[in-house]
Amino acid sequence: MRQQWLAVAICALGCGAAWGQFDLQESHSTASLRGVDSLGDGIVWASGSGGTVLRTLDGGEHWLPCAIPQDAAKLDFRGVQGFDAKTAVIMSSGTGPLSKVFRTTDGCATWKLVFENPDADGFFDALRKVTGRQMYLLGDPVGGHFALFYSPDQGESWFLADDPGRDAAKGVGAFAASNSSFLAIGNQMFFGAGATATDVAKVYRTRPKCAPGAGDGACSIEWVAVPAPVAAGSTAAGVFSLAGRTTLNMAGKMTTIVVAVGGDYQKTAEAAATAAWSSDGGEHWTASAAGPAGFRSAVVYSSTTGKWLAAGPSGVDISSDDGKHWKPVAGDTATGWNALSLPFAVGSKGQIGKLRDGVLK
């Protein structure tokens, strides 16, 4: 779904300026940035409107513009996933042929068109790598089912993923706000969906589908839609972003904890029903007792600190208890964010920030 909100101008803030708990970086861009992927070792990819793709190899000291893919100057690149300093895949969002996937293997000097939306009414929402080679691509429903595509080779080739259970009511869609509505964690995958005037928001989760008497090797997967207590009542509301972590209990059984954030993007300051959490792999969801202080389009988990960070146009919040309670980041006044990939955040008008050391401790 297309998402639009007021941009926050930062042109008065110079290179290296600080805003709340973020150190702002000079992107040399005025694009609305919605995709970011931090790979470590200083390598970060970012993407946005107007065919924009950016890359840094030194942790944001210098952001360099990438070549614009052929005939893509007007495309809105809502998602980017990097594999290394030279290899990355980008996704544009738009109706039908405006949804495309490009790939580079030479540090974004050139791009190859590798996939185009096969459905005239389709709309790509999220592009995610799930292993070192495998990727998934989520799109709005076509013919009553969420569109889902799979790549086994770092985005070079794409195939239809026709696993059952992706049914959707009329008017329901996902959100291309931060490229984080799709999640792969542990042995499960998830994606968040919006609501309608009559339907609640949902999180779709995978579970094994095994024939009677079949061994583990004969099992496939199916998707199950689970209601989530996040804002509803409008197609502008629902689950915008998911993040997760896994734990092992004393018996060695793995548990997946998932956190969802969202709200209504037309009511960015509305604090009601902006987050929910699940401690059983998405089977059951509970509304956060104290949610983020407004609509949030992105959430991430820090494995080094055990904290969660949520960001959106009106601010940034932190949780220390797996999403049950949230509070604004102390001393932070930063606004205008769209997407997160720690320690980076990107947003409107080319805004890129690097979270200061110690904020999540």
Domains of the chain: 18-210+220-355 (2.130.10.10)
Q: Lowest mean pLDDT: which of 7-16, 23-32, 271-280? A: 7-16
Whole-number percent of the chain with pLDDT over 90: 85
Whole-number percent of the chain with pLDDT over 70: 93
Judge whether residue 290 has pLDDT over 90: yes
Closest C-alpha among 326, 330, 352 to residue 341 = 352
Tens digits of residue pLDDT in 197-207? 999 999 999 99
Rg (CA), the chain: 19
Tens digits of residue pLDDT in 53-71? 999 999 999 999 999 999 9
Q: In what order do the strands lie in the sheet with 135-142?
A: 124-129, 135-142, 145-151, 159-160
Confidence of residue 5 (pLDDT cuts 50, 70, 90): very low
Tens digits of residue pLDDT in 227-268? 999 999 999 999 999 999 999 877 888 899 999 999 999 999
Query: Cα(353)–Cα(345) distance, rounded to whole angstroms?
Result: 5
Query: Cα(239)–Cα(216) distance, rounded to whole angstroms?
Result: 32
Tens digits of residue pLDDT in 179-191? 999 999 988 999 9
- Three-state SS string across the chain, please? CCCCCCCCCCCCCCCCCEECCEEEECCCCCCCEEEEEEEECCEEEEEECCCCEEEECCCCCCCEECCCCCCCCCCCEEEEEECCCCCEEEEECCEHHHCEEEEECCCCCCCEEEEECCCCCCEEEEEEECCCCCEEEEEEEECCEEEEEEECCCCCCCEECCCCCCECCCCCCCCCCCCCCEEEECCEEEEEEECCCCCCCEEEEEEEECCCCCCHHHCEEEEEEEECCCCCCCCCEEEEEEEEEEEECCCCCEEEEEEEEEEECCCCCCCCCCEEEECCCCCCCEECCECCCCCCCEEEEECCCCEEEEEECCEEEEECCCCCECEECCCCCCCCEEEEECCEEEEHHHCEEEECCCCCC
Per-residue pLDDT at 11:
36
Per-residue pLDDT at 2:
42
Mean pLDDT of the chain: 93
Confidence of residue 217 (pLDDT cuts 50, 70, 90): low
